[in-house]
Amino acid sequence: MNFVIIGCGRLGAELAYRLYSQGNQVAVIDRNPLAFNNLDPAFSGRTIEGEALNKDVLQRAGVEHADGLAAVTNSDMLNAVVAHAIRTEFHVPQVYVRNYDPYWRPLHEAFRLHMVSSSSWGAQRIEELLYHAEIRTVFSAGNGEVEIYEFSLPVTWVGHTLHELIDGISCSPVALTRAGRSFLMDPELILQQDDILSLSATLEGIQSLRQRLTSLKED
């Protein structure tokens, strides 16, 4: 697939390399040639120096044939204007923007752009973790019939297996986060202190899980 990344700061460089390492064709645009130093040395995609609002620069990056584009500079105004222009003139099927300053989120919303607000999302995630809520809802499917829940492992469950935790409960393991990295869970996995578990379940299933967590605490 062909992707165009506008902005080669830390976020843009990381995104470009991740896409490139998966075998995609990637072009990166930045007006500052020194910004390309942020790219991983193994990156062999294209780099285009110039203003993203310049049509010639966009065409040299191959925007007319792009499958997706991400505007991830630290200027919300530039991200919004460029993304809107590209979506309407070049009809790129997937266009996403970075919201750098939460104050400017209404600008992206006014253009009806798909955005990722790293500041707002990051603050929300850290807030949830700091609260140490027993079980948090992180995703809801359909009308909420099935949701993905996340919770920090109670100390009383350290040394037990995932199978012991969820056996007989209507839920499915999604992922386990340990020391900042996530991976798929094996039923015989030995749970460790500070593990964060993500499970999909119905309301009935998560209520059963809460009861199991509580019952072990009381033993």
Span 180-195, mean pLDDT? 92
Residues 6 or more apart whose Cβ sits within 8 Å of residue 3: 16, 19, 24, 25, 26, 27, 66, 67, 68, 69, 70
- Check pLDDT > 50 for residue 65: yes
Task: Place 49 in a pLDDT band, splitting at 50, 70 and 90.
Answer: very high
Of the chain, the percentage scoring pLDDT greater than 70 comes to 94
Whether residue 66 contacts residue 92, with contact meaning beta carbons closer than 8 Å, is answered with yes
**Structural domains in the chain, sorted by start:** 2-122 (3.40.50.720), 132-218 (3.30.70.1450)
**pLDDT score at 120:** 75
Q: What is the mean pLDDT of the chain?
A: 88
**pLDDT score at 210:** 86
Strand positions, DSSP E, 67-211: 68-71, 94-98, 114-116, 136-141, 146-152, 171-178, 181-183, 196-201
Span 27-38, mean pLDDT? 96
The per-residue pLDDT for range 111-129, each reduced to its tens digit, is 888 888 877 777 766 765 6
Indicate yes or no: pTM above 0.85.
Answer: no
- Check pLDDT > 50 for residue 219: no
Residue 24, exposed/middle/buried by CB under 10 A (0-12, 13-18, 19+)? middle
Span 175-195, mean pLDDT? 92
Residues 6 or more apart whose Cβ sits within 8 Å of residue 143: none
